Amino acid sequence: MFLSTFEKQLDGKRRLLIPQEFRTADNGAEHRIFCFPSIEADCLEAGGDHLFAVYVEMIRALPFGSAQRSALEWQVLGEQNRLAFDGGGRITLPESLVAEAGLGETVMIVGLGDRFQIWSREAWAAWRAEQRRTARTGMAELGALRLAAQLKLEGGGQ
């Protein structure tokens, strides 16, 4: 799994050191990753062969010619870049991806389980604050639902 958040430097040649714990056979990213502009946020989405297989399966499950399938094919397959690690564990990001995500010298690499994202530090800070608010609201709603279910069970299911 891709876990944790790392602050890294993007050098003048657009090389980025991917954390060693992200470069494993377990997540399919031992030798390379695939990377494309994120669907959900202003960052880059990346992962190993296992994540790529999940996306391909999602795409194949949609009816051929549907708008959703076409959009995913364009975004995930058409925008994808396969990036091999150099001897030091770095990838070289294409200029188009750097521009698309607005990456500067300092970037944030955020592990999200089966995938990771590459952010500009400024965009990451704003997104992180928004996600924290959403998580707090979600936890409060989940807590209220659990309490209501518990009270219903204790009250004899009424």
Per-residue pLDDT tens over the stretch 6-21:
999 999 999 999 999 9
Instruction: Give the confidence band of 140 by pLDDT, cuts at 50, 70, 90.
Output: confident
CB atoms within 10 A of CB 112: 15
Find, among 37, 38, 36, 48, the residue nearest to 85 by Cα.
Answer: 48
Place of tokens 């549907």: 66
Q: Cα dist. 114→27, 50, 77, 79 in Å?
A: 7, 8, 18, 19
Q: What is the DSSP string of 38-107?
A: -SSSSSEEEE-HHHHHHHHHHHHHSPTT-HHHHHHIIIIIIT-EEEE--TTSEEE--HHHHHHHT--SEE
The domain total for the chain is 1
Asked whether residue 81 carries a pLDDT value surpassing 80, the answer given is yes
Instruction: Give the confidence band of 145 by pLDDT, cuts at 50, 70, 90.
Output: confident
Residue 1 class from Cβ within 10 Å (0-12 exposed, 13-18 middle, 19+ buried)? middle
Any domain includes 129: no
Asked whether residue 158 carries a pLDDT value surpassing 60, the answer given is no
Give the chain's length: 158
Instruction: Please answer whether residues 42 and 130 qualify as being in contact, where contact means their C-beta atoms are separated by less than 8 angstroms.
Output: no
Separation CA 157–CA 117 (nearest Å): 44
Any domain includes 145: no
Asked whether residue 156 carries a pLDDT value surpassing 70, the answer given is no
CATH number of the domain bearing residue 116: 3.40.1550.20
Find, among 101, 120, 112, the residue nearest to 37 by Cα.
Answer: 101
Any domain includes 157: no
Sequence-separated (6 or more) residues with CB below 8 Å from residue 79: 36, 37
Which residues does residue 151 pair with via DSSP β-bridges, in sequence order?
none
- The pLDDT of residue 152 is 86
Query: What's the domain range around 90?
Result: 5-120
Any domain includes 63: yes
Any domain includes 89: yes
Any domain includes 151: no
Any domain includes 22: yes
Any domain includes 98: yes
